[in-house]
Chains A and B, each alone.
Chain A
Amino acid sequence: MSDTTISTPAETAGKGRTVAFRGGGFAPKSHRWVGAAVFVFLILIAEWGTRTGWISSLTLPKPSDVLETFKELYTSGLLFKHLGPSLSRLAIGAIIGVSLGISVGILIGLFSYIRSGLVPLVAAIFPIPKIALLPLFVIWFGIGEGSKYALIAFGTFTPTVVATYGAVDNVDRSLIRMGQSFGLSWFSIVRKIVLPGAMPGILSGMRISLAIAIILLVAAEMLGAEYGIGAYILEAGSLYDLERLFAGVVILSLLGVITSGVIGLIERRLLGWRS
């Protein structure tokens, strides 16, 4: 490499030159306002484009109109009528799916027979688009809430299983040996060593599972739902009412941001021990 390519200050006689800095980077920090700025920037562009007309109103609704629709939704009280059932479907479905997923994942991580038996099964059901199974769930669990819970639970279950047993595999074996060498019971080792050790992996898996849960919420509300964000979006979509469609989509996005924020909070509380 020729010297001229190194960007160093000019040589000062006798002192040599400053060593070029080449460390740093690879340690992303979160700057909250940058994320917000990106949103604001994109929305402003959309607003400007739709106002001046180079984005036609058929391509994208005007953000201010979407906001207006959103306000209407709020003042008419419809917002909470839609949000309530959706949130409860999301919560119940995700709690069932995630807790079953964590338990099965831990069993797979700990027992050879369960691992040999279930890993191929999980691999087989992971790629099935769960939406395709909705009619089946309707037959099994009825058109009411049951099928919706089942769809969301099933969708969150597989990614949670995969994340959990991967996380259990990554728990430091020397810590488990230590537990055994102090005569800790099997149950204590699992509860006090394996589970906390797997927590980072489980939580990052949960980020994905919960995003999937929100995606499936819309699918679950395709059939037999009068109220719900998904139902609202689907109805707006079939009428090509882009303002309402976008208002609904914005709510889903907000849900996504909120769940990811909540997991971030949990991570900060539970995983402060990481160096």
Chain B
Amino acid sequence: MDIRLDGISHSYDDFEVMRDISLHIESGQIVCIVGPSGCGKSTLLRFIGGLERPSKGRVYQLGEPPEGCLNPLTYIFQDFALLPWRSVAGNISLVLEDHGIRGARAKGIIDDVLARTKLSEFGNALPKQLSGGMKQRVAIARALAVNPAVMLMDEPLSALDAQTRELLMDDLVDLWVRQPFTAVYVTHNLAEAVRLGHKVVVLSRRPGQIREVVEIDKPLQERNFGDPELDAQQKHLWELMRDEARAADAELINV
């Protein structure tokens, strides 16, 4: 299933947030969205997942979601959004219960996604007992449980420390290599963007517009930490963004 954004513009009252964004998200690809603070990345992601409506333009779903897909557009949030009163397994079963999946069938799915995110031993733990990286792996497991057509990730690694971030990036690459998924991945971190993105969309400062779409052809599994080719791409992205980021920063101070 592909996603197409068609001329998306949005304002909150007279506060213009983004202008005429058109984008094609192909099945099996990870599209990273980078841009300065406040340029509307999170808002765009809410449009894609149907949590909010743009003032102009439409988001289209092209084709049917795959067989067995419970929730085609599934989010992974920066703050994990786990229910603190439910165990790890309970948090995953939460999103299955409404589809009438309970008992042995639910257990099968939960065991499978916990194994894929290396959390098998922690099914009964409460979120308060987990580290940040583990919480985010639970959130990823929960997203995998509904077998999404497109994963919408809003800075999923930003709340984590640098080492955990590296490890989780490896985990995401592994997951993708084993079973390619489609994702829109919003981040501030250009290293994440060049590591995970097949396409990197650079937005301008507010009102957010597409400045450039950078394609990175190197297969995900061959991208390593400190790869010179990726470093060059990252540098290129930073040059695109630097002035925008500086201007955006100054703007925020002037408010």
B86 contact set on A, CB distance < 8 A: 273
Listed residue (A182, A188, A199) with the most chain B CB atoms within 10 angstroms of its CB: A182
Known A-B contacts A178-B75, A181-B49; the reply to A196 vs B81 at CB < 8 A is no
Q: Which 4 A-B pairs have the closest CB atoms?
A: A178-B81, A275-B128, A273-B85, A182-B95
CB–CB A192/B49 < 8 A = no
What are 28 A-B contacts with C-beta separation under 8 Å? A174-B79, A174-B81, A175-B81, A175-B83, A177-B51, A177-B81, A178-B75, A178-B81, A181-B49, A181-B51, A181-B74, A181-B75, A182-B74, A182-B94, A183-B70, A183-B71, A184-B95, A185-B98, A192-B94, A192-B97, A196-B83, A196-B85, A197-B85, A271-B85, A272-B126, A273-B86, A275-B84, A275-B128
A residues sitting closer than 8 Å to B (CB atoms) are: 174-175, 177-178, 180-185, 188, 192-193, 196-197, 199, 271-275
Q: Considering the chains assembled together, what is the distance between the CA atoms of A197 and B82 in angstroms? A: 12
Looking at chain A's contact residues, the main secondary structure is helix
Q: Considering the chains assembled together, what is the distance between the CA atoms of A104 and B181 in angstroms? A: 44
B residues sitting closer than 8 Å to A (CB atoms) are: 49, 51, 70-71, 73-75, 77, 79, 81, 83-86, 94-95, 97-98, 126-128, 142, 146
B75 contact set on A, CB distance < 8 A: 178, 181
CB–CB A182/B146 < 8 A = yes
State which of A181, A188, A272 has its C-beta within 8 Å of the C-beta of B98: A188
B79 contact set on A, CB distance < 8 A: 174
A188 contact set on B, CB distance < 8 A: 97-98
Q: Considering the chains assembled together, what is the distance between the CA atoms of A196 and B86 in angstroms? A: 10
- Within the complex, the shortest CB–CB distance from B76 to chain A, in Å, comes to 10
Residue of A nearest to B99 (CB): A183
Listed residue (A175, A183, A184) with the most chain B CB atoms within 10 angstroms of its CB: A183
A178 contact set on B, CB distance < 8 A: 75, 77, 81
Residue of A nearest to B87 (CB): A273
A273 contact set on B, CB distance < 8 A: 84-86, 126-128
Residue of B nearest to A185 (CB): B98
